């Protein structure tokens, strides 16, 4: 075991991240206890009416396909939608917990009241209390290692509008938006143009809102969830990812330019009329593809184009009891509600001691000063200093944070891989990087974010496009994916000996099952069903393409006949 520590692990949170961490650490022989404040697993995919918790609306759909969004050794059921609904996601996570017998390690309805460090014993002391008892008593537990898997959806990012005290309508955050039917016949302003805003607009429309305005400062890059009958992610092959990463490694600006051109071509090909729409006017700021996530939506473009949602400038002030004034001087009258789809934040304030808080400026004053001095600095968007965006610099052998990192890999698959790698690190099967290397990695990410903040707002401070991040995770986890698909002996051996498999891995669906495919001398456990699952995923996607082509031919034939 790394650091001379024991194998007891505390995991806080049993959402999508905490569940996969629980499973992967149990699999490697650790003694795991996971605390979850709710009476259920699944985190935000379980809809709740609690307005203090972020949860998916029942009508929400995943932007990623079921072939790409699954865990590495647990495919979705055959009858699940290509883009799973929130309910299907919740059922998937519950099935995952049941299949791998995780419930015996999870303490539901148990909140973490405090986290302390006992340096003498080298233990994390966790104070918990039940959430389903009126006057609960607290319990204290000691663990060798701690994983905080509460994600980034803890603290609302909420704007404050000048004059909002005079507003007689509702001002709420999307976290509080639980029942769209309450806005039937209402005039609503939606603030922001993110995934959440796109869904909120659609839900308001379906509920019969009288008028929906969408107030935003920047024009988004809007991409469809489906292209030619297939999910967008079905076309993002591993070969294309490798080529893009190679270009970016040689010239980051060229890589960003090519990515932007690709995304804009998707947008303009799918919805040509958007080029002339006010939401995409050249007078609006444009996001950097290097530090922002495109808005994926099947409904937003249509709602903008048909007038179901009217794009307006950002809010300047509340000028009356029901009047909103915009920065261009125009006013929106008779407004009943303002819904702020302005995101949530990585927030562990008050959870871990200050000396272990990765957002504590005292431990890297020069770096934090540069961040604070950047042109688009926002105090409510902290940048934690972590190795690879998840491992504590102060206690790398015993403290990790899940939820801050964002990479081109779907979230479930990313954190599956990340916790495989973390388990190998803490098990002592993969060498812990030196303190110097970890500091350098954290500094590199900080420098990158600061440089991006000189040019515009960064909508996710944990986003990285560096393929070295993925290479390191795979190497630490022991998947051997890069070795088997590279130019070395193992790569040529697979290419020569099993051309069909090699082609599927490089040019087919980028399936998470590939992370469990190869039997390797070290690292995570392989899964004997991986190849069959990869083949099935590719067959399903091929069938989707054929079905779309048949529908296109049938449609053309009907037009010709008519």
Burial 294-310 (b: 16+ CB within 10 A, else e): bbbbebbbebbeeebbb
489-497 vs 499-507: helix crossing angle, rounded to 10: 110
Query: How confident is the model at residue 559, as a pLDDT?
Result: 42
Tell me which DSSP letter residue 488 carries.
S
Query: How confident is the model at residue 125, as a pLDDT?
Result: 98
Share of the chain above pLDDT 90, in %: 69
Q: Are residues 279 and 295 in the same domain?
A: yes
Would you give the end-to-end CA distance of the chain in angstroms?
A: 73
Interval 107-160: pLDDT, tens: 999 999 999 999 999 999 999 999 988 877 899 999 999 999 987 656 788 899
Q: How many CA atoms lie within 13 A of 109 on its CB side?
A: 7
Question: What does the mean pLDDT of the chain come to?
Answer: 91
Q: How far is residue 30's CA from residue 15's CA, in Å, rounded to a whole number?
A: 19
Q: Are residues 182 and 82 in the same domain?
A: no
- In a domain, residue 113? The reply is yes
Q: Does 558 have pLDDT greater than 50?
A: no
- Rounded to an integer, the average pLDDT of 32-42 is 96
CA 9 to chain CA mean position, Å: 24
Q: Write down which residue in 311, 342, 373 finishes a domain.
A: 342
| Whether 204 contacts 308, CB under 8 Å | no
- In a domain, residue 217? The reply is yes
- Rounded to an integer, the average pLDDT of 22-39 is 98
- In a domain, residue 99? The reply is yes
- Rounded to an integer, the average pLDDT of 89-103 is 98
- DSSP for 78-126 reads TTS-SS-BHHHHHHHHHHHHHHTT-GGGEE-SEEEEEEEEETTTTEEEE
Interval 521-556: pLDDT, tens: 999 999 999 999 999 999 999 999 999 998 888 875
Q: Does 435 have pLDDT greater than 60?
A: yes
Total tally of structural domains belonging to the chain = 3
Q: Are residues 407 and 487 in the same domain?
A: no
Q: Which residues, 6 or more positions from 269, have their beta carbon under 8 angstroms from its beta carbon?
A: none
Interval 498-529: pLDDT, tens: 999 999 999 999 999 999 999 999 999 999 99
- In a domain, residue 320? The reply is yes
Q: How far is residue 514's CA from residue 537's CA, in Å, rounded to a whole number?
A: 11
149/383: higher pLDDT = 149
Q: Write down which residue in 455, 477, 499 finishes a domain.
A: 477
- In a domain, residue 470? The reply is yes
Q: What pTM did the predictor assign?
A: 0.93
Q: Write down which residue in 434, 453, 477 finishes a domain.
A: 477
- In terms of Cβ atoms closer than 10 Å to its own Cβ (0-12, 13-18, 19+), residue 220 is buried
Where in the sequence is the domain holding 409, given as residue range(s)?
7-154+345-477
Query: How confident is the model at residue 464, as a pLDDT?
Result: 79
- In a domain, residue 2? The reply is no
Query: Residue 97 maps to which CATH number?
Result: 3.50.50.60
256/104: higher pLDDT = 104
Least-confidence region, from 96-100, 312-316, 449-453, 486-490: 449-453
- In a domain, residue 1? The reply is no
């Amino acid at each position: 075991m790394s650091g001379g520590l024991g194998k007891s692990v505390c995991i806080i949170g049993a959402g999508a991240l905490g569940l996969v961490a629980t499973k992967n650490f149990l699999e490697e022989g650790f003694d795991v206890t996971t605390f979850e404040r709710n009476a259920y697993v699944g985190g935000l995919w379980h809809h709740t009416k609690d307005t203090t918790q972020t949860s998916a609306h029942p009508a929400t759909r995943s932007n990623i396909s079921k072939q790409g969004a699954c865990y590495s050794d647990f495919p979705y059921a055959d009858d699940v939608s290509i883009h799973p609904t929130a309910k299907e996601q919740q059922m998937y996570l519950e099935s995952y917990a049941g299949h791998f017998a995780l419930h015996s390690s999870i303490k539901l309805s148990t909140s973490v009241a405090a986290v302390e460090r006992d340096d003498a014993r080298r233990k994390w002391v966790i104070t918990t209390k039940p959430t389903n008892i009126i006057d609960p008593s607290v319990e204290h537990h000691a663990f060798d290692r701690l994983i905080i898997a509460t994600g980034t959806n803890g603290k609302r990012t909420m704007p404050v509008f000048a004059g909002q005290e005079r507003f007689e309508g509702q001002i709420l955050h999307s976290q509080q938006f639980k029942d769209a039917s309450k806005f039937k016949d209402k005039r609503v302003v939606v603030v922001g143009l993110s995934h959440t805003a796109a869904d909120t607009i659609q839900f308001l429309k379906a509920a019969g809102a009288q008028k929906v305005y969408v107030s935003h400062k920047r024009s988004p890059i809007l991409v469809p969830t489906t292209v030619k009958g297939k999910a967008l992610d079905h076309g993002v092959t591993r070969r294309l990812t490798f080529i893009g990463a190679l270009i970016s490694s040689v010239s980051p600006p060229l890589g960003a330019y090519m990515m932007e051109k690709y995304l804009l071509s998707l947008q303009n090909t799918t919805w040509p009329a958007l080029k002339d729409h006010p939401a995409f006017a050249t007078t609006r700021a444009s996001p950097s593809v290097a530090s922002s996530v495109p808005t994926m939506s099947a409904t937003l473009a249509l709602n903008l184009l048909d007038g179901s949602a009217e794009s307006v400038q950002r809010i300047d002030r509340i000028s009356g009891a029901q009047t909103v004034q915009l920065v261009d001087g125009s006013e929106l009258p008779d407004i009943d509600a303002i819904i702020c789809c302005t995101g949530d934040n990585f927030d562990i304030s008050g959870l871990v001691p200050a000396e272990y808080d990765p957002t504590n400026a005292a431990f890297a004053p020069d770096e934090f000063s540069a961040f604070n001095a950047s042109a688009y600095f926002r105090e409510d968007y902290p940048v934690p200093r972590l190795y690879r965006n998840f491992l504590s610099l102060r206690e790398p052998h015993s403290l990790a944070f899940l939820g801050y990192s964002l990479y081109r890999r779907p979230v479930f698959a990313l954190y599956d891989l990340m916790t495989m790698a973390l388990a190998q690190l803490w098990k002592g099967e993969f060498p812990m990087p030196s303190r110097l290397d970890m500091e350098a990695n954290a500094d590199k990410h900080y420098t990158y974010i600061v440089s991006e903040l000189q040019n515009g707002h960064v909508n996710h401070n944990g986003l990285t496009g560096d393929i070295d991040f993925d290479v390191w995770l795979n190497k630490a986890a022991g998947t051997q994916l890069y070795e088997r698909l590279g130019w070395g002996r193992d790569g040529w051996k697979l290419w020569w000996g099993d051309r069909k498999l090699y082609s599927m891995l490089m040019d087919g669906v980028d399936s998470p099952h590939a992370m469990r495919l190869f039997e390797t001398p070290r690292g995570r456990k392989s899964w004997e069903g991986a190849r069959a699952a990869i083949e099935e995923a590719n067959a399903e996607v091929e069938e989707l393409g054929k079905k779309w082509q048949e529908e296109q031919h049938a449609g053309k034939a009907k037009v010709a006949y008519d």
